[in-house]
Structure 1
Amino acid sequence: MGQYWRFLNLDRREHTRARGYRYKLGEFFGDGITNRNIALRLCRLRSLPNMPRIQPSGAESTNIERPGRSLLVLPNEILYHITDGIETLEDFACFAATCHICWDLCASTLEVSIKHMVSWAGSRIIRLGDYMQNDDLPAGILTEAQRAELDAAVPDESSQGRPVSLYEFAGDHYRSAVMSPDFFDITYAYIRPLEKRGIEGAPLAAIRKMCTPVEATVLRNLSKKLYVRADTIDELNKEVQPRCGGNEPFSLGEALVGRICWSSDPSCAMPEHCEDITRGPWAGDAFDITSMEIFQKEADLSRWVDAKDEVCEALRRYLDGY
């Protein structure tokens, strides 16, 4: 017996299922693809590079003074307010790419906008089973407005009067997210429109460079200040390899998904040792995947807890059924 599952990004109102038609937890958890694809979406992106100022051949210096008669004679504060009326990322990027002055002025906003569109880093994530009940969700994962929206949803004729569940609501009202093992597939939907608008050269190269994930060496639960290192999972793989024909069954993706599944029913098409997977203690928390170097620079590690013991113990249990 088993139920179907969706990944939900609660903050961005996006959802996705497992690849193909393998929607039951026991069917996709060990497929080596689905969980890794979710982890890829959580990877932090790099900073937006500066546009290089190209020195003309033979010139002693590059003249970057503002022209005497142009839009650029306006103060930066006025130039920035011009962008208030720009509604799309493509238009904003086009404005930024017009010159170095506009690029420097808009770079921080452009970086935040692109990162928000491309990466799920920092978002609240849950893997929701379709046997869930709305009165049995993890505490606090819906705001009052989101709860009111869900309660007001009108069930279809086949529901027989049953309220619309969050699982069903997300399938109807959340955007479908791109999942792929290749980050190019994820960024294509955002970069291709820029190419069509004529953005090329240094501005496009800078955006492409930013849309490259940092080294994925640590998964962070930002809500609970827990973390799991990739080398911890590597050591676990070495331990279990003899049982897996020499394969490496786990990644940070399995470490994540094994803790964020949630349903009101324990059926998951997995062995009896795995009932707890459907009551994930991290379900609905915010996550990112970054490098240990960045982590150590940004955070006081004494305030964080290494969750390797609980994660590895859970993964060993999941392996018992394969």
Structure 2
Amino acid sequence: MGQYWKIFNISRREIGQLEGGLKFGEFFFNKQKFLVRSLTIPFESPKLLAYYKLVPERTYEKGLLSLPNELLLEIINYARFATGHFTDFACFAITCRRILILSRHSLHSDKAVEAAGWYGCRIACIGDYARIDDLPDQIMNATQRAQLKKTAESHEDGEAYAGLLSRGDKFTSLYLGMNTWPLALRQRLHSMTKGDRSLYCAAVSVTYPHRDNWALFNVTKKVYVRASALAELAGKPADEQPFLPNCRVDLGHALLLRIAWSYDDSVALQTDIDIHRGPWAGDRFFISTMDRPAPWYNSDFLLKGWTDVSDEIVKDLKEIYEDDADILEGPVIEMEDWDITYFDCDQ
């Protein structure tokens, strides 16, 4: 019958969404919207960037805004953690230009965590025939495997999926704009003035501009895969990055090729590649542009010791697709349209 697969966030004890079927050979040929979006770090919205440039800075001689930046940053950090969610913190941040500018880094970092919820996390695609004792150390070390074995013994799914379901089977969802906000937050917008509402939506919105240097980064191995290499493989080199909406293959396929793990080699694919022994299973990832360090990483981390492995991924994809250009350059297989633009709630 073959084995089923699930995508696990080892760090957060969550399960992701796989579209197209339960067997590897079924979902692999579909676009995996969740997997790609959950790792892709957004840019600031054009409206917010324009606001920074157009609104002149004021000088205050008294009141809260007369305090030095160091003290204001302390207040901002307190508000950031007291509110508990970046959409609430954004209400405080837009109160005036100076506060917004001082909040810029914190707001963007928090938004990256929300929009790219699996960014920097340890991820693996695990088959239900996987065994706990066979898990590599980057997924579970010896101590963790022993604990997992005890936990799995009393769980209804036992050691299926290497017992990882016993650690938690919470499904996570994407941040797709205000349609995913709680009702109370959406109602708050109606109490704002038009100007505040426009600025607020710019502050919390996400956008993924078309650049030619988006890539999937494996932080653990310090290797990366260029979206442009996959666009060229699909015969559409000018397709919009990072999501490559018109290409048969994308960065999600590159990731799935390397993060699958199971004791059993059944992947419902005709290939000699040992997909079930993925060398990246349990590693940490994110998707960003080559010239932009991700939040929380040093500004020069992309420039030192990283290796481009795009050619290796392209080679394996060609083998799986039997180097058939008609198929590789064919129409996209996906369940739903991509939601990749920043949302606007001025209406």
Q: 1 or 2, which has the higher helix percentage?
A: 1
Pick closer, same or farther for the CA change 1:192–1:117 going to 2, 3 Å: farther
Q: CA deviation at 1:220?
A: 1.8
RMSD: 3.6
- In structure 2, what is the equivalent of residue 244 of structure 1? none
- In structure 1, what is the equivalent of residue 257 of structure 2? 258
Give me the whole-angstrom Cα distance separating, in 2, the residues matched to 1:77 and 1:231. 40
Q: CA deviation at 1:30?
A: 1.1
Give me the whole-angstrom Cα distance separating, in 1, the residues matched to 2:311 and 2:73. 52
- Asked if 1:109 corresponds to 2:106, the answer is yes
Give me the whole-angstrom Cα distance separating, in 1, the residues matched to 2:37 and 2:77. 35
- In structure 1, what is the equivalent of residue 166 of structure 2? 169
Do the aligned residues in 1 keep the contact of 2:36 with 2:252 (CA within 8 Å)? yes
- In structure 2, what is the equivalent of residue 76 of structure 1? 72
Secondary structure at the aligned position of 1:76 is classed as: helix
Paired residue for 1:196, among 181, 187, 197? 187
Unaligned runs of at least 5 residues, structure 1: 56-60, 240-246
Pick closer, same or farther for the CA change 1:318–1:213 going to 2, 3 Å: same
Give me the whole-angstrom Cα distance separating, in 2, the residues matched to 1:313 and 1:268. 18
- In structure 2, what is the equivalent of residue 234 of structure 1? 231
Do the aligned residues in 1 keep the contact of 2:290 with 2:302 (CA within 8 Å)? no
What TM-score does the superposition give when structure 1 sets the normalisation length? 0.75
Deviation per CA, 1:191-238: give whole Å up to 9, x if none: 976443336221321321xx1125463222221121222232233334
Pick closer, same or farther for the CA change 1:155–1:302 going to 2, 3 Å: closer
Secondary structure at the aligned position of 2:292 is classed as: helix
What TM-score does the superposition give when structure 2 sets the normalisation length? 0.70
Secondary structure at the aligned position of 1:117 is classed as: helix
- Asked if 1:6 corresponds to 2:6, the answer is yes
Give the count of matched residue pairs: 294
Paired residue for 1:279, among 259, 277, 280? 277
Q: CA deviation at 1:267?
A: 1.0
**Bigger Rg, which one:** 1
- Asked if 1:141 corresponds to 2:139, the answer is yes
Deviation per CA, 1:102-152: give whole Å up to 9, x if none: 323333222212211210332222111111111211223337896576345
Say which is worse superposed, 2-11 or 187-196, in terms of deviation.
Answer: 187-196
Give me the whole-angstrom Cα distance separating, in 2, the residues matched to 1:109 and 1:29. 36
Unaligned runs of at least 5 residues, structure 2: 237-245, 294-298, 328-347
Give me the whole-angstrom Cα distance separating, in 1, the residues matched to 2:198 and 2:247. 40
- In structure 2, what is the equivalent of residue 310 of structure 1? 312
